[in-house]
Structure 1
């Protein structure tokens, strides 16, 4: 119920005068404005009532966001059985018209019973049926199937357009091994059918798992920005990235030398044991025939360890202790011979009383 009708209140003197009060929102009044009409079941003709804007002084209250009106009218029809009818009409013509050709403005209900099955070939078969009530369109419907991995946004989902069918085969070669997928489907009249309209809402989603595919890098793909960058990304098992590093190698032409892309960036994927690695290849002198060959493989890591800076001498042999005449003790040993006689060796001697190793004494010698 509108604010004017909800606020409308009328009374009369049961002689000749009818008085009504009502209000409308200030913004609505500025845009369109309303007029109050009165009729009864005797004359059956709408009569415009004369209305006057009530001021703040008349209302004895603070101003608000509404315009208040008081309206008056004269009539001679009073009595039991006389029905007084009041109505509002906008001061501007407000309407819209349209001739609707039913089969040029079709939006069906979403497809139903979307399901996924595994085929002997390892491919996956998606099946569905037209919504109840839409079967009358027969083969006039075309379908859009979108599918993605669970963690990906729908904006990056793969999309297929199909006509005259309610099933779709997804090749295992087009899917990433060891991933969780979801799919959905929607329908609209096909352009070739002579019907027209817009897509239905999406169907309920269906999900499935692809089998594991080993440890090889997977889902390698590249996108060219059309100017000067080729962005490549791939996925690898998170666990093995702690032991091996993967690099992206590329050739701009079959005859050019192979180059390594750098740096390689890495992003962990939520709730799955894979990471996404990526690298951006700079592109120059591109044309419509340009074709890059890219390869992801384990990088060979090398570390320089200089032998002369990392010597660990074997322990001395034949350690012996001899008491001397002046009540001292002489400690002797045979040193380990190094490859070069000019290399000096240092020694560290520890000695302690029996069962008192925590009170060890330490001396150092060189030879």
Structure 2
């Protein structure tokens, strides 16, 4: 026989909160019986699986990188065991990034009919550490379909040091009103050279300079990332921009009388006076203008004890 039970909002045990349900059932009589409980709802899931539309291959194997004579890099791999027979039926996605970047910002390349990927040195930042990975899926030529495989093991490499040219210039449009461009320059020159981003909305339009330029220092590489946002007025009529990064000409007023560097004194000699003191003499550099006074700084120390230098200042 069946009897109906109803849900009862009783007090749950503190350790089982939200994990237990209370049901209240009534039956008259005191005889001993065995009771079985079941839901009045059918709980199940089912799916029609078409094998050839749900194929996921194993990840590619033996991913490696080599330096070419041109300075470019070549990534190579092979299809996983059991997938070699597919040959050209496999498609691949290769992603690579600088080691410190997140994979969300990695560059992505889609390839088919090949198990190698050529990376131009012009697209890589000199003196940086890179990492790459690859995954595969069945292509349309195989008659199968399905998701990508898991990613292969990663491979890493170092790019050789480059010159002083700004590198890795790239721009991304937000789809509305802003084109953001970024590039890398060497830390060693940013204190003496200022770079600017210049652009043309059309080839016939006048060149404009983007401002302001933002800068982000990176501790992982000897470069800093500079960026600038170009406002986009009408993306439908201006769908192509020409951008360039170059060193800016700077003007600076230098007041000569505040930037005088004299030649060092010549013929330095030392003599002992009658009072057993030591007297230093030297020939000073003379100026064309007699009103320019000179000051001197004298250092002296015991032999082989330069770290214990004593200083004395003199005026001419």
Q: Distance in 1 between matches of 2:151 and 2:84?
A: 17
Counterpart of 2:190 in structure 1 is 241
Q: SS of the residue aligned with 2:189?
A: helix
Q: Following superposition of structure 1 onto structure 2, how do residues 201-212 of structure 1 map, counting pairs within 5 Å? A: 201-212=150-161
TM-score, normalised to structure 1's length? 0.58
Q: Given the alignment of the two structures, is residue 107 of structure 1 paired with residue 62 of structure 2, yes or no?
A: no
Q: SS of the residue aligned with 1:177?
A: coil
Deviation of the 1:267 alpha carbon: 0.6
Q: SS of the residue aligned with 1:90?
A: coil
Q: SS of the residue aligned with 1:223?
A: strand
Q: SS of the residue aligned with 1:192?
A: helix
Counterpart of 1:81 in structure 2 is none
CA contact (8 A) 1:235 1:274 kept: yes
Counterpart of 1:177 in structure 2 is 126
Deviation of the 1:184 alpha carbon: 1.0
Q: CA offsets, 1:63-94, max 9 Å, x none? A: 6444367899xxxxxxxxxxxx9965432222
Whose RCO is larger (CA < 8 A, sep 6+)?
2
Q: Given the alignment of the two structures, is residue 294 of structure 1 paired with residue 243 of structure 2, yes or no?
A: yes
CA contact (8 A) 1:114 1:129 kept: yes
Q: Name which of structure 1's ranges 128-137 and 235-244 shifts more when overlaid on structure 2.
A: 128-137
Cα gap change, 1:226 to 1:198, in 2 (>3 Å): closer
In structure 2, the gaps of 5 or more residues are 14-19, 28-33, 261-286, 294-316
Q: Distance in 2 between matches of 1:55 and 1:253?
A: 73
Q: Following superposition of structure 1 onto structure 2, how do residues 152-191 of structure 1 map, counting pairs within 5 Å? A: 152-191=101-140
CA contact (8 A) 2:88 2:113 kept: yes
Q: Distance in 1 between matches of 2:135 and 2:55?
A: 13
Q: CA offsets, 1:42-70, max 9 Å, x none? A: xxxxxx676878999xxxx9764443678
CA contact (8 A) 1:151 1:270 kept: no
Q: CA offsets, 1:23-44, max 9 Å, x none? A: xxxxxxxxxxxxxxxxxxxxxx
Greater gyration radius: 1
Q: Distance in 2 between matches of 1:71 and 1:204?
A: 62
Q: SS of the residue aligned with 2:165?
A: coil
Deviation of the 1:190 alpha carbon: 0.9
Q: Distance in 2 between matches of 1:93 and 1:154?
A: 43
Deviation of the 1:237 alpha carbon: 0.7
Q: SS of the residue aligned with 1:195?
A: coil
Cα gap change, 1:281 to 1:109, in 2 (>3 Å): same
Deviation of the 1:248 alpha carbon: 2.2
Deviation of the 1:121 alpha carbon: 2.6
CA contact (8 A) 2:202 2:238 kept: no
Counterpart of 2:22 in structure 1 is 67
Q: Given the alignment of the two structures, is residue 95 of structure 1 paired with residue 44 of structure 2, yes or no?
A: yes
Aligned-pair Cα RMSD in Å: 3.9
Deviation of the 1:105 alpha carbon: 1.1
Deviation of the 1:153 alpha carbon: 2.0
Q: Name which of structure 1's ranges 233-242 and 249-258 shifts more when overlaid on structure 2.
A: 249-258
Cα gap change, 1:283 to 1:70, in 2 (>3 Å): closer
Cα gap change, 1:99 to 1:223, in 2 (>3 Å): closer
Counterpart of 1:278 in structure 2 is 227
Cα gap change, 1:149 to 1:92, in 2 (>3 Å): same
Q: Given the alignment of the two structures, is residue 148 of structure 1 paired with residue 148 of structure 2, yes or no?
A: no
| Structure 2 residue corresponding to 1:221, chosen from 148, 170, 173 | 170
Deviation of the 1:288 alpha carbon: 4.7
CA contact (8 A) 1:54 1:70 kept: no
Cα gap change, 1:310 to 1:271, in 2 (>3 Å): closer
Counterpart of 2:252 in structure 1 is 303
Q: Distance in 2 between matches of 1:88 and 1:257?
A: 82
| Structure 2 residue corresponding to 1:117, chosen from 47, 60, 66 | 66
Q: SS of the residue aligned with 1:242?
A: coil
In structure 1, the gaps of 5 or more residues are 1-47, 73-84, 313-335, 340-344, 348-367
